[in-house]
Chain A
Amino acid sequence: MTMMDDELRRALREIADEGRPVDLGRAALAGARRRRRAHLGVASVAVVAAAAISLPMMLADPLGTDHDRVASPAPAGAGPSVVTVHYQDDVNAPPLVLDPDTGDYRSVDEVLETVGEHARWVTVSPDLRQVAGMPNPFRLRIAATTGEGAPTVVHLPGAGRDPVWSPDSRRIALTRGVHRTQVDSVIVVEAATGETTEVRLDAPTDNTGLREPVDWLDPDHLVVTTVDLTDRHPMAHETAAASERRPVITGMAVFDLDGTLVQRVPIDQSPLAGSDQPHSGLMWAPHSEVRDGRVLLGRLPEPGTLELAVLDLTTGGVVLGPVTATLPPVTLPADVSPEDGYQSSARASHAHAHGLYRTATIDDGQLYRSPLPVAWLHDGTALLEAGWYGFDTGFEVPAESHRVDLSTGTMDPVDLPGPATSGIPQFGDSAGLSPQARDRAITIR
């Protein structure tokens, strides 16, 4: 035993002793009851509604007379995209957020006034005027991106995650779920007042589960991914453990803000589907990629290729694509220790796509996986941002980013501006910037 071991033990004991134990029994009981009510609410309403809703929902005009609320514009806006949130290379450094008036980037911790802790899940409103972030799962802070005024501190009714702004920049939806990726309910926050409402979603009962991501179809409707709970398959690699198997994605479901199911969009009606569809790794683009009633979808049908398409959520039809692009081989500059005996020559030598993940085999034999995030830029192209995550070792390494022309499938490398290489940068439309800021802002063109 070394002196280091002794000192480490002592330091950990000292830290552990500093906590002030709080009796959380009753709070935990109350929290568990809330979860149970959410489950029961979903189940009971769904049982009653199933016969009336589930099948006709696939066939009828789901939004009824309000169909026109979903516009059918060009696939994407014409303006250049602007990076609204940078995640810095230094993992201890806070994300940077764009000031739309000046074009400057400033620390999000400064804007949100998070004292002694970093905000996570930082997200900027579509109008670029507000930024939200979470210092912990029970708090949401909202502030003006200009840094003016005091932030609004929202005490969430339970642990939330993945905040996403409504298209009109008035509300924020956060996901609640017992397990990662599972959606039990959605917390809707009024940005102006901080008022919260927990929306319990009326899940279908035909062995359908609700999964992340939660997004907004329009200011009055939420979109959630649906999966078939009876059909599970390995997503990452052939030897995936049972716990790594995922239910098959079947489509999307639209809910109003009361939690009522108003539409289901089955993926199997789209040209992206095929006989091997359940194993093809259909995926969503990441957050805020539902634009004007359309969603960017992608899948990795075989190693080294990527298919992207834009789906109209009102009809379930593909309105753009699918296009096929070839994923470039990637060499990963892994930042790992050369002295621990396990990562002596860590360097990615091979990369391929399989299921939802790109995988790379490192020289030490470990498998690294990346969820291959795709961002939908305002000029109609898609951006593949390749931040790699070592699932077994817990660190991220940067890799190249590429832009895909959605009309041709052409893929070109792109240098993300600024320091954004260790996380997924967020993008907004620079039309919201002041003329002065537009000249100074870093844009992806």
Chain B
Amino acid sequence: MNPGTEAEYLDFVAQATPSLFRIAYALTGRQQDAEDLLQTALERLVPRWRRVDDPMAYVRRIMYHEHVGRWRRWGRREVTVPALADRAAPDDPAQAVVLRQALRQALQELGPRQRAVLVLRYLEDRSEAEVADILGCSPKTVASQASRALHRLRTRYAGRLDLTVLEETR
């Protein structure tokens, strides 16, 4: 990279980092991992800087692929959210907060691919077709992943949060 190109690249990184970092953090749930993930994707962009039409989309795609593939080998998952307090009573005004805590914990326990699908669908508001394109899989697989992820979110903590009741009563 010549100095002019390098300046362009650094300018892009400075502008894009806030939104890209949000995705990286949503995927990993940890500051250090988010930094590693984003840096890896940005490194991959450097040699293609002149040839990539949409660097934001390129980096985003690399991050999703890297996140899904990075730890595929063992399929290990990470839990960093502390255990929840006892479930709040149904009429407790703090229940929504407890619910989100539970969701966060459940999200941390999802596999990387399922988490990536949910981040794309619910944080980035992507369609199933767009998610499929970004992750390089079929829309059916996206639907399956999303369905399974939501099922896990519902069932793993159903006893503690009674999500079904909550959905029906609100």
Neighbouring A residues of B14 by C-beta, 8 Å: 23, 25
Instruction: With A11-B100, A24-B35, A243-B136 as known contacts, state yes or no: A29 contacts B9, CB within 8 Å.
Output: yes
Tell me if B50 counts as interface (CB < 8 A to partner A): no
Chain B positions 145 through 170: 1 when the CB is less than 8 Å from some CB of chain A, otherwise 0: 10110111111000000010011001
Instruction: With A15-B25, A23-B14, A396-B75 as known contacts, state yes or no: A116 contacts B148, CB within 8 Å.
Output: no
Instruction: With A3-B170, A19-B34 as known contacts, state yes or no: A340 contacts B148, CB within 8 Å.
Output: yes
Instruction: With A22-B35, A23-B13 as known contacts, state yes or no: A343 contacts B75, CB within 8 Å.
Output: no
> How far is the CB of A42 from the nearest CB of chain B, in Å?
15
Contact B148 A7 (CB under 8 A): no
> How far is the CB of B147 from the nearest CB of chain A, in Å?
4
Tell me if B61 counts as interface (CB < 8 A to partner A): no
Contact B148 A24 (CB under 8 A): no
Tell me if A245 counts as interface (CB < 8 A to partner B): no
The CA-CA distance from A180 to B66 in the complex, in Å, is: 10
Tell me if B79 counts as interface (CB < 8 A to partner A): yes
The CA-CA distance from A297 to B145 in the complex, in Å, is: 35
Tell me if A48 counts as interface (CB < 8 A to partner B): no
Tell me if B69 counts as interface (CB < 8 A to partner A): yes
Neighbouring A residues of B111 by C-beta, 8 Å: 394-395
Chain B binder among A31-39, A323-331, A429-437: A31-39
7 closest A-B pairs by beta carbon, nearest first, are A19-B25, A32-B46, A28-B42, A25-B13, A340-B147, A16-B22, A394-B113
Tell me if A200 counts as interface (CB < 8 A to partner B): no
How many residues of B sit at the interface, in one of the four size bands?
A: 35 or more
Closest to B22 in A: A16
Closest to B166 in A: A3
Closest to A178 in B: B44
Closest to B33 in A: A136
21 residue pairs of the A-B complex, CB under 8 angstroms, read: A2-B167, A3-B166, A4-B153, A7-B100, A8-B103, A11-B104, A16-B123, A21-B22, A23-B14, A26-B10, A28-B39, A29-B10, A32-B46, A91-B76, A121-B73, A137-B40, A336-B148, A392-B141, A394-B68, A396-B75, A423-B74
Contact A17 B22 (CB under 8 A): yes
Interface-central residue, B40, B80, B136, by most chain A CB under 10 Å:
B40
